[in-house]
Every structure is written in C-alpha cells, then in structure tokens.
Amino acid sequence: MSSTAVARNRAELAAARAGLGGTVAVVMTMGALHAGHIELVRQARKRADAVIMTIFLNPLQLGPGEDLAKYPRTFDEDLKLCIEEGVDLVFAPSPDVMYPNGEPGIRVTAGPLGNLLEGASRPGHFDGVLTVVAKLLHLTRPDLAFFGQKDAQQLLMIRRMVSDLDYTCDIVAVPTVREADGLALSSRNMHLSAFDREAALALSRALMAGEAVSAEGASAVRRAAREVQIREPLALVDYLVLVHPDTLEDVPEWYRGPAVLLVAARVGTTRLIDNVPLTVGRVPNAGSGQARA
C-alpha cells in the first residue's frame, strides 16, 4: 500500500488485509498515541513488510471506578501520526463491530496470574485484555505482534495465551520509552497536573534505585526502592515488588538471576504503573569458567 488505509468494520479489514504482502506486524492500542506507541511502530517496521495498528477503546478491560467516558479520544491526531510513521493499515472498530452480539458471554480467562498485582486492584481487567487481544489476533492475522514492556504483567499473559492457545504469531517486547526525567510514557500522564507529575517521578526513581544495587541481591533491591518511594507521600503505592519474570512470584532473598521490579501507585486521581527488568545478584563473567546463574 502507498498510503495508510483505514478500516472501520470486518469487511473493510479483510479486504485491506488481503492486500498486505510479506511479513505483517500488528501494534494494538486504545488510542491517545504517544512516543511509546510510535516506538512500537518503528520497531515493527524494522521487522515486518507491513504494519497494522489497531485503535480500539476496549470497554471489557476497564475495571470498577474506571470511567470509559473520561478516556481520551484523539483519533484524528492518532491517524496523522500513523500516516507520518507509514502505518499501512489502521483498524479502528466501534464496540458493536468488535462485540456484535453485545458483551461477550464467552471470554479468555487470565487464570491465576490475572488475580495478582494489577489484577487484584482491577478485577476482570486481564480477562478483558486477553479477550480483545485474542479477537484482534484472529482478525488481523499477523506474523508478529509488538507490545511494550511497561505493561509487564500484560505482556507475560499475552505470551502465555499465544503459547497455550497455539497462535502462530510471535510476540515481540519493546523496552519502555521514558521522558528525559525518567517518567514512563503513558496515555494516563495527560491527567497529571504539574504538581502531580513531579510526585509521579518517585515511581521511576524507586525503580532506578533498585536496579542500581541489583548486584547486591534481592534485599538490597527492595530496600533501595522503598527508601526512595517513602520519601514521596503523594505517590500512594499499591505495590512495589521484586518478582520472577515468568511467574510474578516474589523472588526469595537468596535468589540470583532475572527478575522484574514493579510498582503501581495512585498520584492524584491517576493510577500509574512502571517496571524495570534486572538481574539479581552478581553473575560470574562468562570467561571465568563458572556456570552463569
């Protein structure tokens, strides 16, 4: 395609998708695009011959107290960015296109992982995420699907779903994009006042403090992160945890190896999440003759 096509329904999507040759990638969004989404597109462009972006504000993944009406809707601006980045096809369905029979009675269930961390605070959230991702994978039929590492729990469960349900696409993780001061990019940042935004920096600063001492072990990581976090009382922390990347279980104090340090907090009226992958404990050099942890 020489320009960005826009599909609003299944028939338009199928016709446009049939015209895409070679390797096809998809980037799934709820709109309100920012530089983090654009980085997903750019990484997809490096790996694929054609890129599809989906823009769909999914009501199934909004939990109690989350107001669908307040979510930013910026389709015209989003489409302009897609055109500038050379997205081949934008699929922007309405809820009645995605859920033609109304709220679906059968959904993808996140299982035990969906009840941890974000799932504990947002009941049903991950069932809604996985259901829409499953449907969009069926409809767009990509070879590759790109997701940001900022949503670490979501990324893990999408990978599990793709593996467990035998999807044929590969899931590609893209590192978190941050502002110059460290704040992770999120569509929710637009709800932060200047005062709240300063307080929100406690999240990334806590993560960076933990990462800086990761070679000293799990206790040092947790202690350093919490010491930074408690200095900002306006960031009301839901959780600040050091977990195994495959299970989301807290890593024990003796653990050495890959882990993820995750934080969620409410700043003003806005809930923010962030994380950093790291390696806990000192790992011997490859040339030392010792096995790597």
The CATH code belonging to domain 187-277 is 3.30.1300.10
Pairwise CA distance, residues 48 & 200, whole Å: 35
- Please give the pLDDT value at position 98: 97
Query: Which CATH architecture describes the domain 5-174?
Result: 3-Layer(aba) Sandwich (3.40)
How do the domains of the chain map onto residue ranges? Answer: 5-174, 187-277
CB of 122 closer than 8 Å to CB of 266 = no
pTM attached to this predicted model? 0.92
Pairwise CA distance, residues 132 & 19, whole Å: 24
- Please give the pLDDT value at position 62: 80
pLDDT of residue 102 exceeding 70, the answer is yes
Q: What is the pLDDT of residues 240-255, one digit of tens each?
A: 999 999 999 999 999 9
Q: Which residues are catalytic?
A: 37
Q: What is the pLDDT of residues 169-228, one digit of tens each?
A: 999 999 999 999 999 999 899 889 999 999 999 999 999 999 999 999 999 999 999 999
In this prediction, residue 73 has a pLDDT band, given cuts at 50, 70 and 90, of: confident
Average pLDDT value over all residues in the chain:
93
